[in-house]
Amino acid sequence: MADDAAAARRISTGELTGLNTLNPYLQGLYEPVAAETTELELTVIGEIPKDLHGSFVRNGPNPHAAPEGMHHWFDGDGMIHAVYFENGKAEYRNRYVGTDDYRAEKAGKVIGAGGVLMPSAKSRAESTRGELVYKDTANTDLVFHNGSLMALWYISGKPVRVDARTLETLGNETFGGALPRHVSAHGKVDPRTGEFCFFDYSLTEPWMTYGVVSKDNVLTNFQRVELPGPRLPHDMGLTENYVILHDLPVVFTEGGLRNHMWQIKVADQPARFGVAPRNGRGDQIKWFETETCYIYHVVNAWEDGDEVVMTACMMQPNGFPPNPAYGPYASMVNVLALNAVPVEWRMNMVTGEVKKRRLDDRIGEFPVINLDYTGAKSKWSYHVSMAPEELQRFDGLLKYDLGTGAAQEYRFADGVGGSEPAFAPRIGSTSEDDGYVVVFATAPDGTSEVQVLNAQDFDKGPIARIPLPVRVPAGFHGTWAPGDQIAA
């Protein structure tokens, strides 16, 4: 891994070149780390509860080579950071996700930066029918299913199986060769059945798909849903009997489609939520129209009588004008400034009516729940709070009561950037919030730690802090893998 370390160190020591000297998402909290690291004996400040057992894992972008052209934060190679807890002790590891494209680049093939800001070499070489082809980084999400992790990518790619304890790449997941195409980020696992439910979408064609994989890793349903045009959904909802697909008004511009560039706009059209039978046909979907909005992340969804309920973080204008100090990256910085609030939608499957309820005015995102309640009525969710700054920095955590909209707050120290947390049920837990909230936190001086909070004493702060041997850059999504379910 010496080459990776040298390349990443060029960035982390300030050796940026050209336009990337203006790119804030290659510096500070967002700098890639220099190497893969394993540390089996971590110091603990406080005490790790002995009923905390499993892996807290988080994915994110980490370029293995210093970008030479225009670079978007979303395009970095996937790297997973993990802390494994058992019997009051903790281990740390970080590893690159061994996608086909990552391995090809390591072998000397030119793949390219990724494609959000600049078409990649792979896109130019492999786009034979005008479709958009990007470097598949598997850098976005992690889902724990059938004893191991799947690393997933938001533009839809090949799922990559990863060992939840060691983080070693196990290989691409095709569900026994039955996967027809790709899997997007933010699939869901039903804790009652063990099924993995996912969606996929085309960047240029007017359709999306959804599928169901059994607890034994067998593809049991795969359906196509027709759309009025190409769409760019990011998440989905899951209930006991339904999947909820998103037809949202953020779409590619005509010029973007024509020039194979990631150029998007907000179209003048309503948002639509499509409720489809999980194990039925795609043409049985029922669409519900609501006010124009965009949603990155769903909190949870469930069924309540005739209604399908979905809670999610709804985006609003961020209020920041593009800052010319960032040069050609001003637009990227502006779009990345998340400004979302929690909202509940109730869709009546009999009358077709939609009711919308805003739960709170606080700005937050990257919501997580106790995954044992996925697809069932839940009371609690845990969100990052957003610092009122141009750059995306998580300055604390919010614990929401989804019924009342009330929230407890926990703030990191000044300047610290956190990550999406995970909820870890206590061994022998007896209620929804009987467990721990685990989160990475990185200080401005580059030191990182894992913090463990008692979810039922949330606003009192960490009961344990575990300093880490390397910095954990700001990243994307994570999850909790229960220790007794991790495959040997």
pTM higher than 0.75 for the full model?
Answer: yes
Q: What is the CA radius of gyration of the chain?
A: 21
**Distance linking the first and last C-alpha atoms of the chain:** 26
Q: Which residues contact 90 (CB under 8 A, 6 or more apart)?
A: 42, 44, 48, 83, 84, 450, 466
Give the contacts of 216 (CB within 8 A, at least 6 positions apart): 146
Quick check: 292 and 273 in contact, CB under 8 A?
no
Q: Half-sphere exposure of 344 toward its Cβ, with a 13 Å CA cutoff? A: 21
Instruction: Extract the residue ranges of the chain whose pLDDT is less than 50.
Output: 1-2, 6, 9, 12-14, 128-130
Taking a C-beta distance cutoff of 8 angstroms, is the pair 423, 435 a contact? yes
Task: Report the pLDDT value the prediction gives residue 13, as an integer from 0 to 100.
Answer: 43
In 320-404, which ranges are E strands?
Answer: 340-348, 354-358, 364-368, 380-386, 394-401
Q: What is the DSSP letter of 18?
A: G
Cα separation, 389 vs 320, in Å, equals 9
Name the nearest CA neighbour of 438 among 36, 54, 149, 29. 54
Torsion angles phi and psi, residue 453, rounded to 5? -115, 145
Residue 107 carries which DSSP code? T
CB atoms near residue 244 (< 10 Å)? 25
Beta bridge partners, 106, equal: none
Tokens in use for 333?
């910085």
Amino acid at 116: V
Tell me the three state secondary structure of residue 102: helix
Q: Is 57 exposed, middle or buried (0-12, 13-18, 19+ CB in 10 A)?
A: buried
Nearest alpha carbon to residue 227 among 265, 283, 188, 300: 283
Q: Which helix (H) or strand (E) holds 104?
A: helix 100-106
Residue 455: CB atoms within 10 A of its CB come to 24
What's the token pair of residue 362?
A: 């606080």
Q: Please, is 305 exposed, middle or buried when counting C-beta atoms within 10 Å of its C-beta (0-12, 13-18, 19+)?
A: exposed
Residue 366 CA, distance from chain mean position = 7
How far apart (Å, rounded) are the C-alpha atoms in residues 215 and 147?
A: 9
CA atoms within 13 A on the CB side of 371: 27
What pLDDT is attached to residue 125? Answer: 55
Q: Which residues, in sequence order, are bridge partners of residue 151?
A: 142, 160
Contacts of 103 (CB under 8 A, 6+ apart): none
Inter-CA distances, 106 with 1, 68, 237, Å: 10, 16, 37
What token pair was written down for 44?
């603990």
CB atoms within 10 A of CB 415: 14
- What DSSP element (H or E) covers 126? helix 121-126
What secondary structure does DSSP assign to 193-222, as a single string? Answer: T--EEEEEE-SSSSEEEEEEE-TTS-EEEE
Of 350, 246, 357, 344, the residue nearest 301 (C-alpha): 344
Alpha carbons within 13 A on the beta-carbon side of 38: 7
